[in-house]
Amino acid sequence: MTEAIEEWTKGLYMTTENNYIDIEFHEAVYPVRVSIYEIYNPGNVIQISAQDSNNHWIQLWDELSQIVPPKSRLFSPPLSHPCDFKTKMLRLTFKKSSRESYTELGAVMLIGTSDLILPRNPNESLSNLLKRINSMYSPHHDDVHNLTADSKSAHLDIVHLQQNFPKNCVIYKRYYHCTLDLKAVEESEPNVLREIASEEELAQIPRELTRKINAHFNAKFEKFITAKAVFETSRKCLEQNLETAQKELAEQKLDDECRGKLELAKKSNTEVCSNLEEVKIEVHRLQESVKRLEKETCELRRQRDTVMDEANALQLQVERRDTEIERMFTELSSLSSQFQTAIATKCQTLNEILQKIFKYLDLITLCRMNEVNYMRFDNLTRDPLLYTRLNMRNIGSKKYMCKLFCYFIPRCKYLEQLDLTGSYFDVNDFVNFLNNCGSCVTHLRLSQCSTPSRQDLNPVLQEIAKTCKNLKELDLSFAEFIDDKGFSYLEGLNKLEHINFRCLYITTERCCKILQNNQRLREITLQGDIIIDFIIIELANSCPDLEVIELGQSSSNEAELEGWDLTLQGVYALENCKNLQKVTLDICGYEDMSDDLFRSLSSYQHLQEIYLSGYFVLTDHKLELLAQCKNLKKLFFECTKIDIPNNYSFILELFPKLQEFYLKHCFINNQFINQWIERYPHVKTLYERSDNSTVLNDVLMRSRDV
């Protein structure tokens, strides 16, 4: 195989001004592969074309529909083959995109050859040959759209093709000096017929027939030259294989002779070692016999001297044991009577007793009980009332999870609570489980769960909305591969009381629709790219019983968050939630309305916990507002500057029921922290500074001592 020409063109962007870019390389080659490093918005390249020597654009690849995850990748689509022309100009065509979005490419590489190569198998294209080789290296060979889906094994198929070129391909060369020039045929006498016919005979042959004969000759001659090139390549390959086989045969003969001599030597050595081991065993046996006889003699002498003393001691022990046995028998009879009375009073049958015992067993022990007595225990352990709660957390085997689902399907008719936090399962297996056992489920936790082959969880949410009509608690925090269509299924639920949507890609509009249909909601944890104002307003209008609210945004880009922050409109709407007991908010950047926020929080008489983070100034006025919450037990401030110049103890004096006071990355003197711990031992005071971890350790230690 000729040396491949590789060229990277870096720093490419595509905007909405046009939907293609042209890339020129230093040298023209026959295309073998085009690799594109897509950094941002992958999957927008829909066509790759190459320019031939006549400045015509020839399509190498075309794909309109692709589902690509939103992360960078090395994209190498299968090209149309054969590409029987050289090129150094590529054109990448993109999808039409919106004005705000753009596509960013890190680099583009053209891999090709200086000579045209063809697969040795005429029924196989070069793309199919590379796919077959690629399946030996990449675990993602089933990705038919991308030959470099696994970046670790990228281009190993081309390296393999170079190393085994004579076995897989041939070099195709055209012999133009031997073919006929059709234009010359029309202007002069035919060269082929001149050798077999006279001038008079040639003049009698029609010019059109002459042209067809010459064209047919050219085609047949070109096929002959190609077949000859294939034959010569095969012959050289066979000669090399024959020479290698002869060398291996000679080496094999020499190895056989040496191996025979070595076997004879090993056999002799084995016989000598065997005889030596037998002698050693016999000597060791005699030594053990002598030691045993000496030990037995000493033991007999000792027994002879102590036999009388032992007899007396044994007699005394027998008398004591008889007395103890009589006492234990009396106690056992009393306990047996009490036990039988208790059984007769509380349980009429043995099965009722076992059922009561089974209720206190853990899940693993309960599943193993059928091994004790199969007929009885197997029937008792299948009682659906024993399986109202299942905890299958952090199970990382899809096969094991499938077995668990199959095992529990006939047992979980009345399943109410299911926890699959951190587990790995197949979507279809879980959907089947919910279809059979989800009608009574009220609590479902799918936090941090994952699926094989990047399966989306949309079918799971669809089945939840269809089957789990009594669902009260739903935890989807950190779950992956859920899009807007999947969240739309949750609009069919109307009894939710607790939802956890931390770090999910849910839109503000979809979240508001879910809240509108679940007016019994008491707890909500929501963190994502959401408009906090709209969420709070919807909570105030639709969820009057709300007790716990935790809101935040997952994006760290301030430009993306612009217009999505909490405003005075959201703060005033928050006052309508009269039953709040716990509030968690990030108020970074809300300095202008922080007084309004604290004034709003002061109106909640049931509030017990407040968690506020953000760069704002905590004044005595704001603390006085919070002090109106008479039942406040926990206060948490992060990245806050405390501005109470006269008396820092003023903070803890305002809150008589305070139990925990946590300051993280706040600007305050350590001396006041120590004074608080000594003066208010009933309050657990925690102080953490990012620039001095030892302060935290000392304070925590003193807090434990108190």
Q: Which three-class secondary structure string do you get for 114-132?
A: CCEEEECCCCCCHHHHHHH
CB 170 within 8 A of CB 117: yes
The CA distance from 534 to 90, in Å, is 48
CB 539 within 8 A of CB 530: no
Closest CA relative to residue 13, chosen from 48, 40, 34: 40
Q: State which H helix or E strand residue 703 sits in.
A: helix 693-705
pLDDT given for residue 706 in this prediction: 32
Lookup: tokens for 357 = 């015992």
Torsion of CA 55, 56, 60, 61, to 10 degrees: 120
Q: What is the 3-state secondary structure (H, E, C) of 517-584?
A: CCCCCCEEEEECCCCHHHHHHHHHHHCCCCCEEEEECCCCCHHHHCCCCCCHHHHHHHCCCCCCCEEE
pLDDT given for residue 1 in this prediction: 44
pLDDT given for residue 594 in this prediction: 64
CB 660 within 8 A of CB 635: yes
The CA distance from 173 to 220, in Å, is 15
The CA distance from 322 to 21, in Å, is 103
What are residue 21's DSSP bridge partners? 92
CB 447 within 8 A of CB 480: no
Is the alpha carbon torsion for 183, 186, 189, 191 positive or negative?
Answer: positive
Extended beta strands in 163-301, E state = 169-172
Give CA separation, 568 vs 228, 464, 528, 590, in Å: 85, 37, 20, 9
Type of residue at 663: L
Contacts of 353 (CB under 8 A, 6+ apart): 343, 347
The CA distance from 528 to 533, in Å, is 13
pLDDT given for residue 274 in this prediction: 85
End-to-end CA distance of the chain: 79
232 alpha carbon, distance to own chain's centre? 51
Helices (H) and strands (E) in the chain, counts: 23, 23
Q: Write the DSSP assignment of 437-499 as a string of letters.
A: H-TT--EEE-TT-B-GGG--SHHHHHHHHHH-TT--EEE-TT--S--HHHHHGGGG-----EE
The CA distance from 463 to 466, in Å, is 5
Q: What is the pTM of this model?
A: 0.49
pLDDT given for residue 592 in this prediction: 56
Regarding beta strands 473-475 and 498-502, do their DSSP bridges make them parallel or antiparallel, or are they unpaired?
A: parallel
One fold for 385-521 and 537-705: yes
What is the homologous superfamily of the domain 385-521 according to CATH?
A: Ribonuclease Inhibitor (3.80.10.10)
What are the backbone angles phi and psi of residue 186, rounded to the nearest 5°? -70, -30
Q: State which H helix or E strand residue 340 sits in.
A: helix 207-346
Regarding beta strands 57-62 and 45-51, do their DSSP bridges make them parallel or antiparallel, or are they unpaired?
A: antiparallel
CB 586 within 8 A of CB 636: no
Give CA separation, 511 vs 83, 323, 505, 506, 527, in Å: 52, 78, 10, 7, 11
pLDDT given for residue 188 in this prediction: 42
> Is it true that the peptide bond before 82 is cis, omega within 30 degrees of 0?
yes
Q: Is 646 helix (H, G, I), strand (E, B) or coil?
A: coil
Lookup: tokens for 109 = 């590489």
Q: Is 306 helix (H, G, I), strand (E, B) or coil?
A: helix
CATH of domain 537-705: 3.80.10
- Where in the chain are the domains? 4-171, 280-360, 385-521, 537-705
The CA distance from 449 to 208, in Å, is 75
Reported as a single tens digit per residue, the pLDDT across 71-107 is 888 888 988 766 888 999 999 998 876 655 678 888 9
Please name the residue that has the structure tokens 């049958």. 349
The CA distance from 432 to 425, in Å, is 12
What are the backbone angles phi and psi of residue 135, rounded to the nearest 5°? -65, -20
CB 489 within 8 A of CB 465: yes
Q: What is the DSSP letter of 430?
A: H
Residues of the chain with pLDDT under 50: 1-11, 13, 15-16, 175-190, 556-563, 692-706
What are residue 611's DSSP bridge partners? 584, 636
Reported as a single tens digit per residue, the pLDDT across 242-263 is 888 888 888 888 888 888 888 8
Give CA separation, 286 vs 113, 484, 545, in Å: 82, 85, 91
Instruction: Tell me how many degrees the CA angle 611-556-543 measures, rounded to the nearest 5.
Output: 45
The CA distance from 147 to 524, in Å, is 44
CB 653 within 8 A of CB 646: no
What are the backbone angles phi and psi of residue 26, rounded to the nearest 5°? -75, -30
Level-2 CATH architecture, domain 4-171: Sandwich (2.60)
